[in-house]
């Protein structure tokens, strides 16, 4: 295996300041001819496997892997690769360790809250195996850095949790001629595949167009059981080790799908490489990296997304709603979150009508809403449209609910003025009541 020649790029040192500094993009690792006594002792249980043996271990020690994302997938992946003796691990992540990460991102610790994830993961891996070279890259992978970094490593593992990054990493891998091991996990399921390897399809062959931004859910929005990315990240590490050591059959022609509730796996045969693919086809139109956030219409982040579906005059800030509340202006507050989120926290004055009930025009939910509006309207002497405010976690679903209510004609609702609360309950917790739970 080969990698790019040694050069420098603007990346931060592990224990240096947070500002970007010049650090080395490492040169290729040498392919050694023998193992030391300590290596034989450390990797003994792998060495006795006929499929691996000394040759496989030497190949692992000469292999470098770029890990994109040090979160729920990247942590178990990097942990097992370091434990197995992969020669070099590059860790890419621009985020910091937060309390909500710890139920699934197992390399991080409470003592490292607020520390860059790349540095936190690197510190844990060095404690696990000091013989493995770990290079943290505290940056958001973009078109200016991706190709150079990918070329400096033999294999790439995409452990991101957003839409643009898989397209970016895939295109960089195709242009650099590197295999891509990609996994994803959400709620209670996940999937895994190897792209651009041994004639198999690339990511764009299967997904030439990104999904509409409003249909995308990530772990911050949809939740995830911590062990699910642990399982997928471990399987991802297995695929990397098989390719690096030259053993077994990779998932280059199939996708592995995991269902945690049923405890089962399905293997789905993938379509072959598309000769008309924009990046790996016979006549590619993508010959350089693009603006992938523009291409996907969403940000390359695992944070909760922010939609903008309403005009400014159809929205109020949490500060404005607090003034309305304190002034005791008659109104109705509708919380459109699902029941599982309402159980976590809520505002006492809210009535609960889940968004899916509004979308389905559920009779019982609409009757409850009409009744509450009718009761509240009796407290107001004004004849103008009665104010209804809609809230959710972040101010995304509430905008969808406002759109529905604006076009709804239902007995008892009467003339209403519907607005959503910008930023939702998490903005309320941040700006109005710091004791209000954030989730």
The DSSP secondary-structure symbol of 273 reads: P
What is the C-alpha separation between 284 and 14, in angstroms, rounded? 38
Residue 26: both structure tokens together: 């490492």
Pairwise CA distance, residues 57 & 151, whole Å: 23
The answer to whether the CB of 273 falls within 8 A of the CB of 253 is no
Q: Is 159 annotated as a binding residue?
A: no
**Token pair listed for 10:** 């603007």
Long-range pairs of 380-385 with CB within 8 A, sequence gap ≥ 24: 380/330, 384/415, 384/417, 385/415, 385/416, 385/417
CA angle 134, 139, 145 (to 5 degrees): 95
∠ Cα 435 437 439 (to 5°): 150
72 is in an annotated binding site: yes
**Positions marked catalytic:** 219, 392
Q: Flag whether 170 is marked binding.
A: no
Consult the annotation and say whether 91 binds a ligand: no
Q: Do 296 and 164 form a contact (C-beta atoms < 8 A)? A: yes
Residue 173 assigned ligand-binding role: no
Question: How do 180-186 and 416-421 pair as beta strands?
Answer: unpaired
Is position 161 annotated in a ligand binding site? Answer: yes
Q: Is residue 101 annotated as involved in ligand binding?
A: yes
> CB atoms < 10 A from the CB of 198, how many?
11
Residue 278 host element (H or E): none
**Measured distance CA(157)–CA(152) in Å, rounded:** 14
Q: List the one residue out of 222, 232, 290, 264 whose CA is nearest residue 69.
A: 232
Task: For residues 333 and 63, give the distance between their C-alpha atoms in angstroms, rounded to a whole number.
Answer: 58
Backbone angles phi, psi at 305, to 5 degrees: -75, 160
Which one, of 1, 66, 65, 7, lies nearest residue 30 by Cα? 1
Burial 220-244 (b: 16+ CB within 10 A, else e): bbeebbebbbbbbbebbbbbbbbbb
- Angstrom distances, CA of residue 399 to CA of 309, 316, 395, 407: 6, 11, 6, 13
85 assigned binding-site residue: no
Residue 117 counted as an annotated binding residue? yes
Q: Is 15 annotated for ligand binding?
A: no
Helices (H), 129-211: 146-151, 164-176, 203-206
102 is in an annotated binding site: yes
104 is in an annotated binding site: yes
Q: What is the CA radius of gyration of the chain?
A: 26
Which alpha helices (H) appear in 284-362, and where do they start and end? Answer: 292-296, 318-326, 339-342, 355-359
Which residues belong to the annotated binding site? 72, 93, 100-104, 117, 161-162, 202, 205, 277, 280
Residue numbers in the known binding site for Zn(2+) are: 202, 205, 277, 280
Binding-site residues for ATP: 72, 93, 100-104, 117, 161-162
């Amino acid at each position: 295996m080969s990698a790019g020649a040694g050069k420098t790029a603007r990346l931060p040192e592990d224990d240096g300041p947070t500002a970007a500094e010049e650090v080395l993009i490492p040169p290729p690792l040498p392919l050694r001819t023998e193992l030391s006594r300590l290596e034989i002792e450390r990797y003994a249980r792998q060495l006795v496997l006929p499929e691996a043996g000394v040759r496989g271990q030497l190949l692992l020690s000469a292999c470098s892997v770029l890990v994109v994302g040090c979160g729920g997938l990247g942590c178990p992946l990097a942990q097992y690769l370091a434990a197995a003796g992969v020669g070099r691990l590059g860790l890419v992540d621009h985020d910091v360790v937060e309390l909500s990460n710890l139920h699934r991102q197992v390399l991080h610790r409470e003592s490292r809250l607020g520390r860059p994830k790349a540095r936190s993961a690197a510190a844990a891996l060095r404690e696990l195996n000091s013989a493995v070279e770990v290079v943290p890259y505290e940056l958001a992978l973009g078109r200016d850095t991706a190709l150079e970094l990918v070329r400096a490593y033999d294999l790439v593992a995409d452990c991101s949790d957003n839409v643009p990054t898989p397209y970016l990493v895939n295109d960089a891998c195709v242009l650099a001629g590197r295999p891509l091991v990609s996994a994803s996990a959400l709620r209670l399921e996940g999937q895994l595949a190897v792209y651009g390897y041994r004639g198999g399809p690339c990511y764009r062959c299967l997904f030439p167009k990104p999904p509409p931004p409003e249909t995308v859910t990530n772990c911050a929005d949809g939740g995830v059981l911590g062990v699910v990315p642990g399982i997928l990240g471990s399987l991802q590490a297995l695929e990397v080790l098989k390719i690096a050591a030259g053993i077994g059959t990779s998932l280059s022609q199939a996708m592995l799908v995991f269902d945690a509730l049923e405890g089962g796996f399905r293997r789905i045969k993938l379509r072959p490489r598309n000769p008309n693919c924009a990046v790996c086809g016979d006549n590619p139109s993508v010959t350089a990296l693009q603006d992938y956030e523009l291409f996907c219409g969403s940000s390359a982040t695992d944070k909760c997304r922010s939609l903008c579906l309403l005009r400014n005059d159809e929205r109020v800030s949490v500060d404005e709603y607090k003034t309305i509340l304190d002034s005791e202006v008659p109104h109705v507050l509708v919380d459109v979150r699902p029941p599982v989120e309402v159980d976590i926290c809520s505002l006492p004055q809210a009535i609960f009508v889940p968004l899916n009930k509004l979308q389905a025009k559920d009779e019982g939910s609409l009757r409850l809403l009409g009744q509450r509006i009718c009761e509240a309207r009796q407290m107001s002497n004004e004849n103008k449209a009665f104010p209804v405010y809609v809230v959710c976690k972040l101010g995304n679903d509430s905008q969808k609910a406002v759109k529905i209510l604006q076009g709804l004609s239902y007995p008892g609702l009467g003339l209403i003025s519907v607005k959503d609360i910008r930023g939702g309950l998490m903005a309320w917790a941040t700006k109005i009541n710091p004791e209000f739970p954030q989730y």
